[in-house]
Amino acid sequence: GENVEQHPSTLSVQEGDSAVIKCTYSDSASNYFPWYKQELGKGPQLIIDIRSNVGEKKDQRIAVTLNKTAKHFSLHITETQPEDSAVYFCAAQGAGTNAGKSTFGDGTTLTVKP
Amino acid sequence: NAGVTQTPKFQVLKTGQSMTLQCAQDMNHNSMYWYRQDPGMGLRLIYYSASEGTTDKGEVPNGYNVSRLNKREFSLRLESAAPSQTSVYFCASSETQGGTIYFGEGSWLTVV
């Protein structure tokens, strides 16, 4: 099955700095890569996603890049703010019979210091 | 705009007791899921239902059963709770299999 590794497990940055979280996946058939933000006591919420036919996607201060050859994808947050502090999860979703079966990374706890 | 609603939010069970977690979505989604989240282990899929009338095992199905009652509702049952089932449980749904997944707020379950 799919295996997703996420690094780092914790990340602390100063307000205004950039934050980068990286994930690798094992199944070359995976074709959808969402990123979720989970605030304390809440369920994960989708913040950005990318499909395997696209190399980069940007939404304001958030961007995701995908390298299919190397099987890794990254989340980039620029100009971080205290409200960006949360746990971030990457996921890889399969195709065909594995469609809908998302495999999640173990999460990154991001702390943005004012 | 409720999205995915799950109940109860908190529950304490004794070992061996049974209980059912309820989940409903109002987005007319075809696919529904149950995940568990343990510290440092991310989210693991317990069971999913690709469409009304179908259910399939996920990564960690042992000790659980599910029922897709109708298109809106997908319940998770613990027949004989064990301390290893202490976790946060999330119900989720997507329009189609492979689509964006929307999560509920979570149910905190403690088995003593």
B61, two tokens:
């199905």
pLDDT tens column, A39-86? 998 999 999 999 877 799 999 999 999 999 999 999 999 999 999 999
CB contact under 8 A, A101 and B101: no
* Closest-approach residue (CA) in chain B for A37: B103
* Closest-approach residue (CA) in chain A for B47: A101
CB contact under 8 A, A41 and B106: yes
- Which chain B residues touch A95 with a CB distance below 8 Å? 98
pLDDT (tens place) for every residue of chain B, 112 residues total: 679 999 999 999 999 999 999 999 999 999 999 999 998 778 999 999 999 999 999 989 999 999 998 999 999 999 999 999 999 999 999 998 778 899 999 999 999 9
In degrees to the nearest 10, what's the CA dihedral of B33, B22, B106, A98? -10
**C-alpha dist (Å) from residue A53 to A31, B14, B77:** 8, 49, 39
Q: Output the pLDDT for position A109.
A: 96
CB contact under 8 A, B41 and A106: yes
Q: Which amino acid is at B99?
A: G
A18, two tokens:
């950039």
Q: In this complex, which of B42, B58, B103 lies closest to A106 when CB atoms are compared?
A: B42
